[in-house]
A and B are shown apart, each in its own frame.
Chain A
Amino acid sequence: GDSVTQMEGPVTLSEEAFLTINCTYTATGYPSLFWYVQYPGEGLQLLLKATKADDKGSNKGFEATYRKETTSFHLEKGSVQVSDSAVYFCALSEWDTGNQFYFGTGTSLTVIP
């Protein structure tokens, strides 16, 4: 069945460091891929998405490229800020599994000044 695997956290970085959070997926067809972010005390918010192979999603300086050959959707940011401290979830959705989402376990990021 469909699934998403994320790198384990927590991740601690200094401000302005480069961020990579790895995400790989298993799907039977052609899923859409998403990154969600959860700030402390809040619900999950969509950060970015990509709907087909080689698409690049981007938002707020974050980027992720849909790599079908490696079944990956790694999240990157060139220079993190303290305000990026949050939990990041990778997710997929596939049309033939209906409207269900499959979420990864989440990766906690703390950025220190």
Chain B
Amino acid sequence: DAGVIQSPRHEVTEMGQEVTLRCKPISGHNSLFWYRQTMMRGLELLIYFNNNVPIDDSGMPEDRFSAKMPNASFSTLKIQPSEPRDSAVYFCASRGEGLSSYEQYFGPGTRLTVT
């Protein structure tokens, strides 16, 4: 299995530009999570989907952030317009169905730098 795939691995953009981060979960997993990691705030859950439906987006910092999951094998996290304080590593994770004993599998992350 290829694991969770994220792209791009690195993104450098200027303030005000739109940024789109992509994630392909592990095949057969029905839950998908987006996290943001910074030195100041640690690991933060932004949003998670179950069977392609957003369940909890209370961690999305503001309206500039949006996430979609159009099908079971693809999700995007979009920031528009981007700001320097959005600079962070963004992780996607997926998980199999049902049991609380199932672990989350993390992707390698996208390092975003907004100048």
Query: Is A45 within 8 A of B31, CB to CB?
Result: no
Quick check: A45 and B100 within 8 Å, CB to CB? no
A25 touches B (CB below 8 Å): no
Question: In chain A, what residue has the closest Cβ to B97?
Answer: A99
Report which of A46, A94, A103, A105 forms a contact with B100, defined as CB distance below 8 A.
A94
In the bound complex, residues from chain B placing their C-beta under 8 Å from that of A31 are: 100
Q: Is the CB of B99 within 8 A of A98?
A: no
Q: Once the chains bind, are A44 and B100 in contact (CB under 8 Å)?
A: no
Are B91 and A95 in contact, with the CB atoms below 8 A?
A: no
Of B33, B42, B55, the residue contacting A101 (CB under 8 A) is B33
Q: Using CB atoms, name the residue of chain B closest to A49.
A: B103
A25 CA / B56 CA spacing, docked (Å):
22
B104 interfacial by beta-carbon distance below 8 Å? yes
Is A51 among interface residues, defined by CB-CB distance under 8 A? yes
The minimal Cβ–Cβ distance linking B75 to chain A, given in whole angstroms, is 15
Contact with A100, one of B45, B106, B109 (Cβ below 8 angstroms):
B45
Q: Which of B45, B50, B91 is A44 in contact with, Cβ under 8 Å?
A: B91
> A33-52 interface mask toward B, CB cutoff 8 Å, 1 = contact, 0 = none?
01010000011111001010
Query: B54: CB under 8 A from chain A?
Result: no
Please tell me which one of the listed residues B56, B95, B108 contacts residue A42 in the complex, with CB atoms under 8 A apart: B108
Give A residues with C-beta under 8 Å from B: 31-32, 34, 36, 42-46, 49, 51, 89, 93-95, 98-101, 103, 105-106
Q: List 23 A-B contacts (CB under 8 A).
A: A31-B100, A36-B106, A43-B91, A43-B93, A43-B106, A43-B108, A44-B91, A44-B104, A46-B103, A46-B104, A89-B43, A93-B100, A93-B101, A94-B100, A95-B99, A99-B102, A100-B45, A100-B48, A101-B33, A101-B104, A103-B43, A105-B42, A106-B42
| A-B CB proximity, top 10 nearest | A43-B106, A99-B31, A95-B100, A51-B101, A44-B106, A93-B100, A32-B101, A32-B100, A46-B103, A105-B42
